[in-house]
Structure 1
């Protein structure tokens, strides 16, 4: 009967809440929710309002994303970029129904990688040398001074040499304004420049401490690395490139682990620079042949002037940055400052001559390595052809990286007399995550790694919610208010899913009349759901406006909660809303255990999997039921028909029925045992009032234990209801245990405060009667301020022999009267005993 009722109810639900008719020749999870033609997107190539999104091939999207430079662990800034990218990708393919071909690269040869790998190996070699403590100190001291000269010149502006003893004083004098949160000039707001100064000062702080404490290399690594590199880089043997690949492969694996932990979909295709060097050489050769690049001293540079003279546009993304020398130098890399032969400062390297201590590959121009920008042009073009729909990355890549990519790619595909070539149709740039006004950056060391963030601060879902609260193309600085807003949003959905699942589960155990009141579903939430679907489609069509989408979901859930609280609420209507919300949060990537087409109800269970053995999975629940049943029987309660029927229940049979259906969801498989356990507890609560005190106490203790320990430890919450069976809710065990421990801690604190108050009262009482024991005639006799007293013991003269002032005499008389009253109470209480 239970399965028949469930089937009827599901049929009613699907009849009313199904989506509009959609083509059936497309996989279900790829069918669009709305018209693709209505989508607009913020395109960095056309700044301003969002523009219509029309891929070159109907129903398909080709997309290239700049991946990480694999030289260090990824941080929250990377998480912002890749989660935002993942959200847009999911919306395109799972909401609008596009088939997305997503390509991403790993930059595994780059100035930062070369420096990091080389410095790391040089420090290892240095530590293997036989040094005396004095020699180590001398090495660290030279590195300390050199680091200051190169990075913090104001520290060495004075004539006296800088050392660890005068460092702190000079630091405060030279950079006090920056350390206090201001700017170096004293004007404007702090920026990356100030963040970099703080980073350098932190490195110097650690080194100064190392020198003062004589700890050798420990603590001084950050100043030693560049110093050792300056000493030995030209003698470093790079014929064996494993020194670089060991680093990049380890960081690539760490990045993939981070992305998996964040529920970021893996790319459809991955490319690596080191696997494309021959293709890069050929690509550069063609640009040279077309007259848009030139060779100089073994390097090859892009000729911006020639490119523009041919009718092309340079710096299409950031024309205002075209002549920004600092950005140009940053784009060339720190190892390229000594390269010579450029015709103009803005020309950028396509191929770099390798210097001693750098990896190298053969080319027509001699041994060298790819420039930073050329790698993406070659790999993206190889995978996606001469034109792609989307290219994406962080906003910091817009100039020079992406502008240079565009220029060299359009030069490669340029054809005379055919106008400018369009290599990318839509450039999507993800906004920065900033810290105190500066972008989060490895180079500034102002970051929290993804690993650390997930271990200490966020869950993957919570982090994604925080980023969904802001537009993908806007900068964001995470604030306490943002965190609270994200926590509240998640808690609201958590409770909604938990409550509707519990109520539906309870309804399935009732008779058809009780459980299914109105299969037509003609009232309740219908208009709210229709409006929610319409508003969500409008939000996501408007350049993937997730902040508005999150508000639409929250509004609909709150409407459903209000409706669900009504006695006449139709649970099927609420279920319809819950299933639609489930689908949307699945599409947004907020459920790491869910898979397309996201047709479940609520967050999916981490234990639901194809390889789950139901009999093994339900053992803890069956064991809990068996224990409770035995404990109830041990109470020897009066046998009633209700208790007899409950104790004769066989949840194993119901479990077998569910298992036979092929169900793999542990929550559903466990329900027969949980329902039987809950019913036993409900019956205990029903009969407890009629029991004698000792048995009553034992029953109440068992009832509390079942709820607070037996089931809580399994991740099951029982909500007691008046004249109704308890609601069974599945909540993460850790959350329930934490709540139990918090409740216990509050109770313990209350007991502690009560005991402290009792002790304080006892002490006050003791002090009161100790004072009361003294008779008023004696209370002033031992006070050295006085030297004469009357018959009642009241002072008449001060210690110097002068008469007691009348005002003071009046005050002492009042004190005497109070003491007499207190002493009289003492005599009454203790029977006149002294």
Structure 2
């Protein structure tokens, strides 16, 4: 099938534009094409619709991949390229999944409250899981058959179809494995496990069984609305926690029923839809006959039942297998609204077409969503919109100019999915990562390609974050400590090289962002600039040479900050409202003054302690130490916090000096204020070999994480040493206990010799009673010596320490206890 896409007006006028032109990967043609707004080449007004959540469960990291990736793309278009975006996001609060999940949760809750007999719960769980396994086995068989059907087909479309059907089969097999594992776990647990444990193992299968039996009895519409409202609120909280910009317009299906009904009516009136028993279906064959193309985004999926996402047409109402529901007749146990066709509710796809058309009209610039929505959802959206505007002057052949699809987020080879139960919720992920770290992880990946949520992506993110943090801290130190008026500002070759690196980075970033908003390449350019600046700093930190040029470093840091703000990795103009707080800016200077005085005071205290100076010198340093800082700080919030910590530390040092404490205690106090007090205040204090120190602002969570990693590494190193000692001592104990358990030499040789000399403890007669002489006596003496050598190590130890074995056992017990205290197992795992 030929795939048609029309470049927006003006994109080819007057030849190529000077410099790189912004291009986007358009799923309508699966290639990069120039981006030109529908309003015209020179316009900065664009429209954008994104498929929002179906609010039936908590959002997971796969959803974050979609919404964060397109938040980054949106920010680049708005903050870098200067577009003004009318951004519309829908919330699907009426949908099969929501209805099913709300109903099942309600029924399972009722069942749980009434579950008193574990034997009955066990029987019900076993039956429900058997049914679930059998159903899933059928689905696996259908997926295998669908894949087998296209096995012999050739061509690019066939290959695409095979790839998607193979992925579908793998997903169905994964789900079957999980259900079989649950059935085995229930069988192994038995009724003795108790109702709670059985419900934990078989809850989903039980809910499905209860829904099949009792679903029609759940008629209260508040049950469905409450379920959707809960997860909508959670989703919006997740967006805020991830730092995503809010949409201009938020549309809910439940608030656009009137528009949806009217949309369906118009499609029917245009001859491209039909009513059947209270439902309305889209007529794909009439749509094609009218000159439209069905399946623009994913033509190879058209006709594949396994990929269509529609329930089997058991009623026979459809005119063609590819037809899909616009409006569904009401069934028992479902919410409904009145319509010209009777009570019912919207189909899966109609909501987006109707709501987007209501806000944006007959054409939009950009439509986004996850890769899994290409077919059938987005293809059906396009068809519905073209059918709705079919009778308008000029018709509608291209409702969306640019369709952008975010690549799947994979985990263990399959996409992260609620149905597969292989997902990590956004909230769970934010227990391990900060919002900035998660955003950075996606910035470092091309938005349109598949991404694996694995250690490689996480490690790359951590490495880049550490590089940037260290760079900004180093520049901040130069800006804070260098007195520009007292240093030469002459540029040498090193400054020219750094400026060239800045120029190159700016050019590379622009080219990368023009090229399909390639944030991965842009970040690589920024990191290369950081490395060039680090090389420059290392050259300029030689005390004998010129100082680093603060203005040039600030220019490089300011550019990097600007691009990071475009990506949402630090605050951008679009992220806050109103005017900046001048008082906050003034407070920043006061805080720096306190920290400068604080670190200088601590440096002095450490120097005196290391030199074992008299207590009187320490006391003299403490006398009035914060006064200068207090005068500079006033009483502003952040500075006041720092000043309070300064005073507390001074008081602690003064008390130690008054008590004549040893130098080690004073040094320990210096370490505590660095590792505890300042960490909680978000300050990294680095001690330098010359006895001075430098402070750098830092996220307390990052500092705590570093401390925990150091503690873990130290515990691991200590644990390794202890395990070696423990292993050696256990070997010794085993060896010496075996020696202690040996019989006496006479007992050991009793089968060879019958009489022994009491004075020499040597054998005198063989086992038959014959006296030993000559070679026989020499042999006997050698055997005795051999026995003595075996026992000699134990005898020596016991001679040195009679309670040697008891002491060795006590050492082993102490080592085991110390390993346990470190949180390290004896086998080496934490």
Normalising TM by the smaller chain, what interval?
Answer: 0.7 to 0.9
8 Å contact kept, 2:745–2:788:
no
* 1:555 equivalent in structure 2: 528
Matches of 1:425 and 1:655 in 2, distance apart? Answer: 57
Report the CA distance between 1:302 and its aligned residue: 1.1
Sort the Cα spacing of 1:556 and 1:226 in 2 relative to 1 into closer, same or farther, 3 A.
same
Q: Give the whole-Å Cα distance in 2 for the aligned partners of 1:35 and 1:807.
A: 106
Contact kept in structure 2, 1:311 and 1:419, CA below 8 Å: no
2:330 paired residue among 354, 363, 371: 354
Out of 574, 577, 589, the position equivalent to 2:556 is 577
Determine the structure 2 residue equivalent to 1:212.
191
Contact 2:408–2:449 at 8 Å: present in 1 too? yes
Aligned to 2:30: 47
The answer to whether 1:654 aligns with 2:635 is: no
- Deviations 1:321-356 (Å, cap 9, x if unpaired)? 11111222x1x3x4x744442111111111111112
Q: Deviations over 1:34-63 (max 9, x none)?
A: 989711110001123x11111112112210
Which of 53, 59, 62 aligns to 2:47? It is: 62
Structure 1 equivalent of residue 696 of structure 2: 729
Q: Is the 8 A contact 1:351 1:371 kept in 2?
A: yes
Secondary structure at the residue paired with 1:270? strand
**Structure 2 partner of 1:31:** none
Task: Report the alpha carbon displacement of residue 85 of structure 1 after superposing the two structures with TM.
Answer: 1.0
Identify the residue that residue 104 of structure 1 maps to in structure 2: 89
Provide the TM-score with structure 2 as the length reference.
Answer: 0.75
Deviation at 1:234, TM superposition (A): 2.9
CA drift at 1:143: 2.8
CA positional deviation for 1:613: 9.0
Contact 2:597 2:626 in 1 (8 A): no
1:811 to partner: Cα distance: 7.1
Cα distance change of structure 1 residues 47 and 701 upon mapping to structure 2, 3 Å threshold: closer
Q: Give the corresponding residue for 1:373.
A: 349
Distance 1:495 1:234 in 2: 61
- The residue aligned with 1:309 is 289
Task: Provide the TM-score with structure 1 as the length reference.
Answer: 0.75
SS at 1:266 equivalent: coil
Measured at CA, do residues 300 and 511 of structure 1 come closer, stay the same or move farther in structure 2, by a change above 3 Å?
closer
- In structure 2, relative to structure 1, the CA distance for the partners of 1:636 and 1:268 (3 Å cut) is farther
Instruction: List aligned pairs for 1:452-601, cutoff 5 A.
Output: 452-455=428-431, 457-507=432-482, 510=483, 512-514=485-487, 517-518=489-490, 523=496, 525-566=498-539, 567=541, 568=546, 569-591=548-570, 594-596=571-573
1:619–1:135 distance in 2 versus 1, CA, 3 Å: farther
For residues 598 and 466 of structure 1, what CA distance do their matches in structure 2 show? 20
Aligned residue runs from structure 1 range 666-745, under 5 A: 666=638, 696-723=663-690, 725-740=692-707
Indicate if the aligned counterparts of 1:564 and 1:570 stay in contact, CA closer than 8 A. no
| Contact 2:386-2:398 within 8 A present in 1 as well | yes
1:537 and 1:138, CA in 2 relative to 1: closer, same or farther beyond 3 A? same
CA distance in 1, matches of 2:784, 2:307: 87
- Pairs within 5 Å for 1:88-103: 88-103=73-88
Are 1:426 and 2:418 matched, yes or no? no
Shift of 1:470: 1.9
The reply to whether residue 251 of structure 1 matches residue 218 of structure 2 is: no
Q: Distance in 2 between matches of 1:746 and 1:543?
A: 42
Matches within 5 A, 1:15-54: 38-48=21-31, 50-54=32-36
Any idea what SS the aligned residue of 2:430 has? helix
CA 576–672 in structure 1, closer or farther in 2 if over 3 Å, else same: farther
The DSSP-based 3-state class of the residue aligned with 1:443 is: coil
Query: Hey, what's the Cα distance between the residues in 1 that align with 2:725 and 2:167?
Result: 59
Q: Which moved more, 1:57-66 or 1:778-787?
A: 778-787
Please identify, of 416-425 and 627-636, the stretch whose mean Cα deviation from structure 2 is larger.
627-636
Q: 1:559 to 1:356 in 2, by over 3 A?
A: same
Query: Structure 2 CA distance, aligned partners of 1:822 and 1:117?
Result: 75
RMSD between superposed Cα atoms in Å: 5.0
Instruction: Determine the structure 1 residue equivalent to 2:250.
Output: 270
Alignment deviations for residues 425-473 of structure 1 (CA, whole Å, 9 cap, x no partner): 0000111112222221111111111111212x32222222222222111
Maintained 8 Å contact 1:114/1:244? yes
In the comparison of the two structures, how many residue pairs are matched? 731
Give the Cα–Cα distance (whole angstroms) in 1 for the partners of residues 139 and 29 of structure 2: 44
**1:617-646 CA deviation, whole Å, 9 max, x = no partner?**
999989989998999999974559994998
Structure 1 SS opposite 2:345: strand
1:25 alignment partner in structure 2: none
User: 2: CA distance between counterparts of 1:472 and 1:716?
Assistant: 35
